Structure 1
């Protein structure tokens, strides 16, 4: 596993259960990415921050959740746009994959709101992307589908990935550029 690779979803689920975290692996990853995209710091005690639960345990150094934090922060900063969402494998059912994507969006919105605050400095494009993420977060998983549904899910995943990078660009990268200019 390189610094940019996310840990396996099963490893994240196992450590999350062991620590007593209530969120699914995808929702947890979404919350972490939202926190980071909104300008939150990459800290080992990130579950307490992104879940707004001060008593949440700190992941062990080198564990799956620590690796998730390090890889997510690196991917968001990477100029090659290799940002990935922690979602079930393609062999999982359409319902499981779409449900996990909507969970990821719910987590992202929560983490982003905690880090960015009520009025983050967003471009019109980012405001629109955030509104679209909110619509996805409210969506319900579809249990069955056909090839068109599979293609639509792939397009939605790509949109979510790009939206997260766009929001990170507005809240973190643009803020850094402004600081350098001043």
Structure 2
């Protein structure tokens, strides 16, 4: 499976293209785009960012590797999908904000790809509503303690599974139904 670039590499590649988004935001938007059924082509960046003037990321460059690894992880039956957030040694406050930013960007990419009425299961619909709540959240008073660390880990796992569920509803489910017909 394609190795995914780290947050620092993605942030640097984003800056090189003049994008005003963090690595977490870019990855969230990409994953939302893919989960909603957006194309996995080389032109993903301009389509997912709704800016056709953006250049196509260089083949085998950081953003191309990010796209290929994210698409592979989302479609992997072993549930290897992982969120691209802040490094584990970053302050808890920064990691929590990166998660909320990821969710907000995911919703934008998902909406662009899936449209107003995506084919969601009841669980998918609930997951989408919960992601919207997280996207609207702001980091408040956080203690750098074990309890808050555990709560953030649980939220990250929920978001990871929600993204997989939405991808299943919008991409894998329709693909499977087409192959049965």
TM-score by length of 2: 0.96
- SS in structure 1 of the partner of residue 169 of structure 2: helix
Aligned residues of 1:21 and 1:56 also touching (Cα < 8 A)? no
- Mapped to 2, the partners of 1:80 and 1:181 lie a distance apart of 22
CA positional deviation for 1:143: 5.7
**Separation (CA, whole Å) in 2 of partners of 1:59 and 1:68:** 10
Number of residue pairs aligned between Structure 1 and Structure 2: 180
The residue correspondences of 1:71-110 to structure 2 (distance < 5 A) are 71-110=69-108
- Taking only aligned residues, the RMSD between alpha carbons, in angstroms, comes to 1.0
- Runs of 4+ in structure 1 displaced over 6 angstroms? none
Question: How big is each residue's C-alpha offset from its partner over 1:50-94, in whole Å with a ceiling of 9 and x where there is no partner?
Answer: 111111121111111000000000001110000010011111001
The structural deviation recorded for 1:15 is 0.7
Alignment of 1:9-158 (within 5 A): 9-142=7-140, 144-145=142-143, 146-158=145-157
> What is the aligned partner in structure 1 of residue 162 from structure 2?
163
Local SS of the residue matching 2:38? coil
1:113-154 CA distance string (max 9 Å, x none) = 000010011001000000000000011124631211110000
Unpaired stretches in structure 1, ≥5 consecutive residues: none
> Scaled by the length of structure 1, what TM-score is found?
0.96
* Uncovered stretches (5+) of structure 2, i.e. residues with no partner: none
